[in-house]
Amino acid sequence: MLGYFYMTNTQERTLIILKPDTVQRGLVGEIISRFEKIGLKIIGAKMLKPDYDHFFHHYENIGKMISRRGKKTFDVTLEMMNAGPVIAFVLEGIEAVSLVRKMVGGTEPKSALPGTIRGDYAHMSYTHGDANEVGIPNLIHASGDLEEAKAEIKHWFSENELFEYETVHEKFTQTKRSHAKK
């Protein structure tokens, strides 16, 4: 029976950005290794210091942040993102968008669950951020859904900056029944 069905294509690409706090705290390797260890494939990577317009497009045109969080929060977040270089990655794997969001954890480090990146490496609260009028340095950005991931990847990477290659994990993470059609 199985041979008559098309296998669902569950492969997704998602964008992560290691924020200035991650770069300045020397946590790049530790955080990236979490994604590597579970078998996600890095298909693009670069360090850059984007200008205001680049972040505006990312957080507002794509992420609709002003309507969700307010202009004040938007402004302090952009200020925080401008504090130093960031490192952007495109990761690929099975249902990668929601999987990576799960690993990243909630926006506020104080309430992000232990075991998540934001829960394990930071503890700042919204209360502290608001009182001091600062953006919350929560280490990492990850695309919110598939549509956002597609728009963000297009915004941060050109086609020739994304690579195809085989990893040893794929024997285990990208198995297909040999008779299933692609």
Q: Which residues bind ligand ADP (CB under 6 A)?
A: 63, 65, 68-69, 73, 76-77, 107, 126, 129, 135-136, 138, 141, 144
Distance of alpha carbon 100 from alpha carbon 38, whole angstroms: 10
From the list 57, 58, 128, 141, the catalytic residue is 141
Based on CB atoms, which residue is closest to ligand ADP, 25 or 169? 25
Environment class of 166 (CB within 10 Å of its CB; exposed 0-12, middle 13-18, buried 19+): exposed
Q: Which is nearer to ligand ADP, 69 or 155 (CB)?
A: 69
Is residue 141 annotated as part of the catalytic site, yes or no?
Answer: yes
Distance in Å, CB of 129 to ligand ADP, minimum:
4
Nearer to ligand ADP, 93 or 109 (CB): 109
Rounded Cα distance, 71 and 85, in Å: 23
Residue 176 CB, nearest approach to ligand ADP (Å):
32
Q: How far is the CB of 126 from ligand ADP (least distance, A)?
A: 5
Rounded CA-CA distance 77/2 in Å is 49
Helix, strand, coil abundance in the chain, percent, nearest 5: 45, 15, 35
Q: Which residues pair with 91 in a beta bridge?
A: 14, 42
- Which residues are known to be catalytic? 141
